[in-house]
Amino acid sequence: MSKILVTGGTGYIGSHTCVELLNAGYEIVVIDNFCNSSPKSAARVKKITGKDFKVCECDIRDKDGLKKVFEAEKPDAVIHFAGLKAVGESCVKPLEYYENNIWGTVALLEVMRDCGCKRIVFSSSATVYGSENKVPFVETMPVGTATNPYGTTKIYIENILQDLYKADNEWSIELLRYFNPIGAHPSGQIGENPNGIPNNLMPYIAQVAVGKREMLSVYGNDYPTPDGTGVRDYIHVVDLAVGHIKAVTRALGKTGVDIYNLGTGIGYSVLDIVNTFMEVNKINIPYKIVDRRPGDIAECYANADKAKEELGWVAALNLADMCRDTWNWQKNNPNGYDD
């Protein structure tokens, strides 16, 4: 079976993808610098799967360190999650975001090329559609303009990868545009573990539920949506992880660049999420309506047909599953991976 190197493999989406890779029979090796994760997540992945793998503490900007890992492990393909992802922080520290995400990816690609490993699955985002395109977002639409440096890094990296294939058609590149990943592994062993005040909706709701935050602020109820609150395409992180198995399997069998939306194709409003969370978990979530958050768009959801047709992938879990599994993780791990 092929060996997959997972950058950022102890993070939220990476850890769930490691579980699915191991369950599918792949060998894996993880690299991470733990700037936004805990090595404990890897121990939990081993517990869930009953399988062992190597975790290397390594920064993707450290080419010498990367080279040692590639030479020792000889991976067949890379799934590249490592990157900084906080939208607000990227506006305050744009250089850190460009340096870590873009330079880090270029360093990784150089080492991959030099070691003859030319298959990569990259974590892109629906944010690349910008505000110019109309929902549902389809892969054939032109990329839009990001409203923040984080989003810009995703657009640049997509371009870099496309240029790389144009220059050398031995590469196999899968660009996966995630919509809004939420939820956690049903075991309750791994999940999202944000530092400080969560920026995203579901982690904030989970912290209100567990008593860490008093009340959710709903950012605007005057959008042109059915109930006036923002609409997003929430996708269970386990479904998202399974999408990576399909993508990496495809990458191992062909060359070229593919772009896939990974979403459910269904848009839910902020109040849909709050109400479903309360109903499924029988917990009250106090909330208040406040002003819109700058940079937010009214609606964002996928046309998910291409992933279904070409990868044979569809999201199988619904919003109730996402709310149940988020709470199962949060209530069993109120402080994340910290004991």
Active site residues: 150
At 105, list the tokens.
């990816």
Q: What are phi and psi of 6, to 5 degrees?
A: -110, 110
**Nearest to ligand UD1 of 80, 232 (CB atom):** 232
Which stretches of 98-182 are assigned E, i.e. beta strand? 119-125, 172-178, 180-182
The answer to the question of residue 155 lying near ligand NAD (CB under 6 A) is no
Footprint of ligand UD1 on 11-70 (CB under 6 A): none
The answer to the question of residue 93 lying near ligand UD1 (CB under 6 A) is no
Which stretches of the chain are assigned E, i.e. beta strand? 3-7, 27-32, 54-57, 77-80, 119-125, 172-178, 180-182, 216-219, 231-232, 234-236, 256-262, 268-269, 287-290, 299-300
4, 30, 53, 59: residue in contact with ligand NAD (rule CB under 6 A): 59
**Nearest to ligand NAD of 85, 118 (CB atom):** 85
Q: What is the CA angle 80-84-86, rounded to 5?
A: 130
With CB under 5 to 8 Å by kind, the binding choice for 242 among ligand NAD, ligand UD1, none is none
Site string for ligand UD1, 256-285 (x = CB under 6 A): --------------x---------------
The answer to the question of residue 125 lying near ligand NAD (CB under 6 A) is yes
Whether residue 213 contacts residue 207, with contact meaning beta carbons closer than 8 Å, is answered with yes
Compute the distance between CA of residue 128 and CA of residue 215 in angstroms, rounded to an integer.
31
Hey, is 305 helix, strand or coil?
Answer: helix
Compute the distance between CA of residue 313 and CA of residue 25 in angstroms, rounded to an integer.
18
CA nearest neighbour of 31 among 127, 104, 93:
104
With CB under 5 to 8 Å by kind, the binding choice for 37 among ligand NAD, ligand UD1, none is ligand NAD
Compute the distance between CA of residue 156 and CA of residue 252 in angstroms, rounded to an integer.
24
**Nearest to ligand UD1 of 24, 94 (CB atom):** 94
Footprint of ligand NAD on 250-289 (CB under 6 A): none
The answer to the question of residue 100 lying near ligand NAD (CB under 6 A) is yes
**Nearest to ligand UD1 of 152, 172 (CB atom):** 152
Stretch that binds ligand NAD, among 8-16, 18-26, 112-120, 327-335 (CB under 6 A): 8-16
With CB under 5 to 8 Å by kind, the binding choice for 295 among ligand NAD, ligand UD1, none is ligand UD1
Compute the distance between CA of residue 206 and CA of residue 192 in angstroms, rounded to an integer.
10
Query: Over 25-74, what HEC string results?
Result: CCEEEEEECCCCCCCHHHHHHHHHHCCCCEEEECCCCCHHHHHHHHHHHC
Q: How far is the CB of 169 from ligand NAD (least distance, A)?
A: 25
Residues that bind ligand NAD (CB under 6 A): 8, 10-14, 32-37, 59-61, 81-85, 100, 104, 123, 125, 178, 181
Residues that bind ligand UD1 (CB under 6 A): 87, 125, 127, 151, 180, 199-201, 204, 216-219, 230, 232, 270, 293, 295-296, 300
